[in-house]
Structure 1
Amino acid sequence: MNTVFKTTALSQALLLALVAPVAFAAPAEPATPATPAAAVDAAPEPKQLDTVVVQAEIAYRNRTPDIAPVLSYDLEYFQRFEPNTVGDMVKRLPGVAFVGSDIMEYDGVQLRGLGGGYTQVLINGKKVPGAGDDRSFWVDRIPAEMVDRIEILRNNSANRSGDAVAGAINIILRDAYEFDGGYLRVGVNRWDDGEVNPTLGAVASGEALGGRILGGINVQDRYRGKLKRSDRYSDPSMQELVSWEDQEEVKDGRDYSGNVSYTVDVGETGRFSVDGFYVKTDREVTEVSFEEEYDDGETITADVPGFSTVDQQNWGVGAEYRFDMAGGTTELDLDYARFEDKSMESEEAHARVDGEWDESEAERLDIDASDAETSFKVAHKRSLGAAQMEFGIDYRTKKREIDHTYYEFAAENEGDAVVYELDTAVGSLIEETRIDPYLMFSGDLGVMAWEAGLRYETTDSDIESSQDGDAIRVSKDYNELLPSLHLKWDLTDADRISLSLAKSVKRPNFNELIPALLDGEYGDNDYIGNPHLDPETANGLDLGYERRLGKRGVVGINFFYRDIKDLIELVNTGEPSDEMIGTWEDLVEDGEYATIEEAMAAEPADSWVFTSANVGDGKVYGVEVDISTPLSAFGMDNTGVFMNYAYVKSDVDDFMGSRRFNGQARSAFNVGFIQDLPTLDASFGVSYRKQGDAYERIVGEEVTISYGDDLEAFVEKRFGNNLSLRLTAANLLDASKDEVFHKFDTIDDQLARDYDEFELETEEAGPSYQLVMRWAF
């Protein structure tokens, strides 16, 4: 009831701010009217798609007029390296890292090196559900051909959801109003192991049904073959090899995607638009592993085949209507987005001791997940003298339902067929309702432009968990007031300084909320989720300088700082683990002790039940530099260079003391060039990427993750104004992903550095090549 009252009261106050100037203002001169909705975008003609297909000039980063700090990159900025997915695109952008992704895959994007849950991914400025338990969206699910441009929103504004501690990546899909014409993209990929896969895409746009309509389809085979090697030792001295493993993995699948956009002008000032997208991933993952272990003079070998299927769908549809009203512009948005996952993971292990069969075991996990979000937004913009005011309310409901069903098998004799039996079933349902009113003002004082706003986010959530028939349901509500302030000084026509201050929020990961007990989740320690978690909040600062270089170039430097409160970390509940309780019960049953209490006193617990809790504060800070410019100053108008570098640091305290944020890459560096050869209607270019090491420390395990250098190149030949042919090559340095694991059974062992295992793991995938033809029509 308090939440409803607060929301209603704030909404009334904002509504009064909207209506009062109309009812009571009596200016001496008529107020400057707001720009009519239809006139906002009426000036530019639709971009001809043949200029997208066959580029006459090198494309550079856009310098946007936004007051809030925004970096904008058109598809043409990336296109000559022929990215297949949004992940292939954003990996080239300032401050972007991918930690945890397999080699040559770019799915869970991270800004400022922070985990995916700290980075907000938007499609057309709107939130979409994704696969990640940390509320992240895997950007490799969206093909590059659907994209008009990508924006990095470095800090929050009041008219956007505040879930963006590290910032937001806004994927703008192609819009019917922006493009005209059509083209066809046909290509083939060749991988290091000789596999060849096709890719096909088509986009068309034009006038229809009284307005403009755009449609696009894309079908591409997704393939990745890699080799993995693991060597495991008793400790970091590496004097005793405990076991080793060789693995071959093949991911083979196909992505189907499409998008549609329809826009029509209504009356003199109105505009109505509908857009939608659909992405389906079908994939099979096959693993063939051989392990060898040495134990008390015995050699244990095992064949470990694995097989998984991935069946995921993302789709969304939205409608927007803008029209002039009461001296301003009103906008109504209605959106629905859904994610579905019906996947399976399985693994078998057939072990032999000194050549003789010992055992065969198997495990399987079936995943049935859905995540649906419905949102409605009403907003109004109007002039208030020298300032502009925007008022709005966002309403959003979310329903995320996941069922995990575990099966197991143990053979009695060698060669027994695998027949799975149910082990356990865990289900969860999370429902959230948000009502977020906001108020924002902006103005331009000539040299300086400003924007200030308040957003009040209210969240009502219900969490339900069931494990083998036992259900728990918990409710949790919380509210956050998120202020923001952005200043932009145009010192000269070329020089700009920006200052941004904003508060943001990170809601708990879904798996952190589910009160289901997971045995042995961290070494010998168990884990249970905490549905009473509060969100993390962050006060953020961005201070940047940007300079225009000639007509097309731009260079910028940005300093950022985030002061994060109510960090969510693992804590010990003080309850012994199920394995520890079982040990005590066995001791009593064997007659060594008369009661459980005696066993507990004689054999103190060394493994526990852990949970997540809001434990304290942390900070993240760093610097980002980027440059995108032709070398006109050296008389090389047809040479374009690109470079960006981000260095990040952070500090957080956990059960062992101070460390960086888990999974935060220390740096991200990109550099490259494109050389256009106008007389030959050709061009070529090279791109180099290096990502710094990342470190993670949790109960029972510490790991350092490193990625090798990534080198890409392309050569292009254009034929007239309608046809181009490009050959691209990726991973030319045969980069590897290398991980170093320090593993412990208990937290006492971890503190004492008493190792269970020390492991070195590396994986490689080899270079790949792509030949693509684009034909405009």
Structure 2
Amino acid sequence: MKKAMLFAVASLAPLLAGAPAWSADAAADEAERTKTVEELVVTGEITFRNRTDEAAPTLSYDLEYFQRFEPLTAGDALKRVPSVAFLSDVLESDGARLRGLDPGYTQILINGERVPGAGVDRSFFVDRIPAELIERVEVVRSSSANRSGDAMAGALNIVLRDGYTFDGGYVRAGALLFSDDRVRETIGGVFSAPVGPGRMVIGANYQGRRNPKQKFSQRFDEPGGTLDNVEIQSDTRNGEDYSLNASYDVQMEDSTLKLSGFFVRTDRLEDEDSYEYAGGRVGTADFLTYNNNNVDIQTDNWALQARYERDMAGGKTRFKLGYAALSDKQDEIEEEYEYLRDTRPFPDDDRFTGDKTRTRLEDKEFSGELSHKRDVGAAKLEFGVQYTKKDRDTDITTVRNRVTIPNPPAARPNLGAYGAYAPVVGGVNTIEEERIDPFAMLSGETGAFGWEAGVRWENTDTTIKDATAPAGARNVKNDYSFLLPSAHLRWNLSADDRIKLSVARTVRRPNFNFISPALMEAELGDNDLLGNPNLKPESAWGVDLGFERRLGTRGVAGVNVFYRDVKNLIEVASTGQEGSEGPGTFVLQPRNTGDGSVWGVEFDLSTPLTAFGLDDTGVFLNYSWLDSDVKDDFGKRRFNDQAKYVFNVGFIQDLPNWAAAFGATYRKQGRAFGRVIGEEVTTTYGADLEVFVEKRFGERYVVRLTGANLLDSKKKETFNKFTTIADQRARDFDEYELEREEAGPVFQLVARATF
């Protein structure tokens, strides 16, 4: 912590030295950036993908690109950009999977800064950020030296609105109708105006959330075998999201100051009710179990950032401080009533099992940067150091209650009290990471070429403290360093055509649950799982090669091919020790072993149909073909749960004479397969169709009706389950399950008014 305090003092020193005078010329320059609120909210124009001039391959999408379909969250918006897949439940978009890879391979940034997430794979759920906070979304396909190297698949940068986004304010209000005839409300507003020597923006949003899912499962003894039982389940997720964001920007004569922050709270109740019947016959005599599973969730994400840039020492020096925190509280109760434990139906010899689990997670990150940028001949040199201090505290405790019951569910007796909570093995720990990452990079323009080259040296000190680990292994340290070079080239073939080439080395750090040294019994089938605090990050060399063409004045089309050569893959392997369940079972442990590769082709198009005389018609299309190769204990496979493709197509038709517009998007995601010891899962999704109709009233009002999931897209999963490694190799099934999930269409009516 001493290092953190010294860094903070050093970074604040230039601020304490006083601020230069306000510049009228600077104010005029910034005013050119500021749009009227009507341009953003009540627009009669179609907005297309931005064409960026960065050397690094970056796709940029303003909120207006998504806004007419009224996305609720950043996840809803990201569904429409190239190569972003999700493995979420129907109607949800939480863990973004850039290029189809696990969310831990994708770096999520907010305003260019990392934020902590609740996932053990270090991922941040993008459905936590309301779409109303967004100015734009950037897809950064290859890493640069001045950003963290945790971006093997790439990075998604969610840029929040600042004081120069627009001038004025607006309010938004509406309602959503779900397939169970429930209505949830949505309301929000944003205001931006000059305040003192700078500009401020402040926004607030309330969103009622609901997802009324229905699931149906069939379980067999093996593929094509006997149907053992079926399960009918309702899974309703109901809650509220609250958000607040603000920023203050000051442009001075030779310096700029930006202060920003956001807060997002998610309150959610997940209510699952499951009824299981023997042999597929739904009736009293075949009633097996009733399961009631409720999870009460409150998740808070918030962050504060300060950035100060000043002309000094022959260039521009930047000081950044940030603090981001996550607080996740979950209280879960799962109660199961068994009514056919043997051949006799209830009320004979039945059982109640109840489990309560309490999860408390706190993840805090302090970050800072001191960097300098200056001209060196015809090039620009940027160098500096970035510091990060993470503290992640996990506290998971549970208690079980088990009694025999004499009655069916309609007449449940008093089932007794729960005892005291006890720690879950591997669930009570503290993980501290301290990083010091110096970097240097050169960039420049030479004729038709723009280029960037740099190197980053990431140094990480990790301390893991686990109260549930075996004695002598409860406090472990692990240190590692990585040198991460990167280079980007942009070649302008003409005013409309250009080629981009990028090469970069990146890393993926181990999952938190893998580095805890606890021993979890029967965690993978009947096999035990022992954590490995000495895991090193995976690393990869990656290449991106893309061609982009401007179409007219507003359209753009691009194609990109990519390849990642991954080393030190983290896979679970047997230690050779017998597991707690006896012969045939083993103690398994994650290890750095083997290599893998990922590759694909990405195409995107967004353009008005001007060539056909249809200036008021815009079309959007992107298609990504994705593939990979990994070798595990059972043979070759793709990277776990990587979709084979992601396809989006849509159009917007503006009707200027009627002050109206309508449009539609269609999305389809390919099959995904995942395999770990004890279980194999194949996931498929149906197609998703969304439409909107809007009517504008003057320059200040717009009303939109949108429909989502109009094809009632279904998520289907096939589970192959095995007890031991030998059984999995021999295909001796413990269970074969088919599961189908659906949620129905959602309709949203929203009105926006500017002021």
TM-score if structure 2 supplies the norm length? 0.93
Q: How large is the RMSD of aligned CA atoms in angstroms?
A: 1.7
The secondary structure found in structure 2 opposite 1:735 is coil
| Distance (whole Å) between structure 1 residues aligned to residue 669 and residue 699 of structure 2 | 38
Alignment-derived partner of residue 400 in structure 1: 392
| Distance (whole Å) between structure 2 residues aligned to residue 757 and residue 616 of structure 1 | 30
Alignment-derived partner of residue 188 in structure 1: 175
| Distance (whole Å) between structure 2 residues aligned to residue 505 and residue 742 of structure 1 | 31
Say whether residues 1:776 and 2:750 are aligned partners.
no
| Letter of the 1:382 counterpart | R
Unaligned runs of 5+ in 1: 9-35, 581-604
Alignment of 1:41-190 (within 5 A): 42=30, 44-99=32-87, 101-190=88-177
CA contact (8 A) 2:27 2:251 kept: no
Deviation at 1:346, TM superposition (A): 1.8
| Letter of the 1:49 counterpart | V
Alignment-derived partner of residue 18 in structure 1: none
Alignment of 1:323-402 (within 5 A): 323-353=310-340, 354-357=345-348, 358-402=350-394
| Distance (whole Å) between structure 2 residues aligned to residue 247 and residue 38 of structure 1 | 61
| Distance (whole Å) between structure 2 residues aligned to residue 749 and residue 107 of structure 1 | 34
Deviation at 1:738, TM superposition (A): 0.2
Alignment-derived partner of residue 224 in structure 1: 211
The secondary structure found in structure 2 opposite 1:194 is coil
Alignment-derived partner of residue 265 in structure 2: 280
Alignment-derived partner of residue 464 in structure 1: 465
Q: 1:519 aligns with which of 518, 521, 525?
A: 521
| Distance (whole Å) between structure 2 residues aligned to residue 176 and residue 614 of structure 1 | 46
| Letter of the 2:548 counterpart | E
Percent of aligned positions with the same letter in both sequences? Answer: 51
Alignment-derived partner of residue 33 in structure 1: none
Deviations 1:593-651 (A, max 9, x none): xxxxxxxxxxxx20111110000110000000000000000000000000000011100
| Distance (whole Å) between structure 2 residues aligned to residue 322 and residue 85 of structure 1 | 31
Say whether residues 1:252 and 2:238 are aligned partners.
yes
Alignment of 1:242-321 (within 5 A): 242-266=228-252, 268-293=253-278, 299=286, 301-321=288-308
| Distance (whole Å) between structure 1 residues aligned to residue 267 and residue 91 of structure 2 | 19
| Letter of the 1:167 counterpart | G
Deviation at 1:269, TM superposition (A): 0.5
| Letter of the 1:438 counterpart | F
Alignment-derived partner of residue 589 in structure 1: none
The secondary structure found in structure 2 opposite 1:411 is strand
Deviation at 1:43, TM superposition (A): 6.7
Q: How many residues align?
A: 715
| Letter of the 1:273 counterpart | K
The secondary structure found in structure 2 opposite 1:383 is strand
* CA 1:164–1:38: 2 relative to 1, 3 Å: farther
Q: 1:567 aligns with which of 566, 569, 572?
A: 569
Deviation at 1:468, TM superposition (A): 8.4
Deviation at 1:208, TM superposition (A): 0.9
Q: 1:504 aligns with which of 503, 506, 518?
A: 506
| Distance (whole Å) between structure 2 residues aligned to residue 41 and residue 429 of structure 1 | 48
Alignment of 1:531-546 (within 5 A): 531-546=533-548
Alignment-derived partner of residue 699 in structure 2: 721
| Letter of the 2:172 counterpart | R
CA contact (8 A) 2:30 2:164 kept: no
| Distance (whole Å) between structure 2 residues aligned to residue 391 and residue 686 of structure 1 | 46
| Distance (whole Å) between structure 1 residues aligned to residue 303 and residue 645 of structure 2 | 34
Say whether residues 1:698 and 2:676 are aligned partners.
yes
CA contact (8 A) 2:469 2:517 kept: no
CA contact (8 A) 2:469 2:519 kept: no
Segment drifting more, 515-524 vs 86-95: 515-524
The secondary structure found in structure 1 opposite 2:65 is helix
Deviations 1:666-699 (A, max 9, x none): 1000000000000000000010000001000110
Say whether residues 1:643 and 2:641 are aligned partners.
no
Alignment of 1:615-764 (within 5 A): 615-764=593-742
| Distance (whole Å) between structure 1 residues aligned to residue 647 and residue 72 of structure 2 | 21
CA contact (8 A) 1:37 1:323 kept: no
The secondary structure found in structure 2 opposite 1:467 is coil
Deviation at 1:419, TM superposition (A): 2.3
Deviation at 1:575, TM superposition (A): 1.6
| Distance (whole Å) between structure 2 residues aligned to residue 411 and residue 355 of structure 1 | 15
Deviations 1:476-521 (A, max 9, x none): 0000000000000000000010000000010001111111121211
CA contact (8 A) 1:220 1:255 kept: yes
* CA 1:468–1:326: 2 relative to 1, 3 Å: closer
| Letter of the 2:220 counterpart | Y
Deviations 1:195-241 (A, max 9, x none): 1000001000001132111000000011110100010001101x311
Deviation at 1:71, TM superposition (A): 0.0
| Distance (whole Å) between structure 2 residues aligned to residue 48 and residue 518 of structure 1 | 58
| Distance (whole Å) between structure 1 residues aligned to residue 95 and residue 323 of structure 2 | 23
CA contact (8 A) 2:374 2:380 kept: yes
| Distance (whole Å) between structure 2 residues aligned to residue 299 and residue 705 of structure 1 | 29
Q: 2:493 aligns with which of 484, 491, 494?
A: 491
Deviation at 1:466, TM superposition (A): 1.3
| Distance (whole Å) between structure 2 residues aligned to residue 391 and residue 719 of structure 1 | 51
| Distance (whole Å) between structure 1 residues aligned to residue 221 and residue 132 of structure 2 | 49
| Letter of the 2:266 counterpart | T
| Distance (whole Å) between structure 2 residues aligned to residue 364 and residue 529 of structure 1 | 24
| Distance (whole Å) between structure 2 residues aligned to residue 523 and residue 369 of structure 1 | 27
Deviation at 1:294, TM superposition (A): 5.4
Alignment-derived partner of residue 448 in structure 1: 449
Deviation at 1:721, TM superposition (A): 0.4
CA contact (8 A) 1:294 1:300 kept: no
| Distance (whole Å) between structure 2 residues aligned to residue 309 and residue 47 of structure 1 | 42
| Letter of the 2:67 counterpart | Q
| Distance (whole Å) between structure 2 residues aligned to residue 446 and residue 220 of structure 1 | 50
CA contact (8 A) 2:519 2:529 kept: yes
Alignment-derived partner of residue 15 in structure 2: none
Deviation at 1:299, TM superposition (A): 4.5
| Distance (whole Å) between structure 2 residues aligned to residue 399 and residue 468 of structure 1 | 19
Deviation at 1:300, TM superposition (A): 5.4
CA contact (8 A) 2:31 2:164 kept: no
| Distance (whole Å) between structure 1 residues aligned to residue 538 and residue 273 of structure 2 | 41
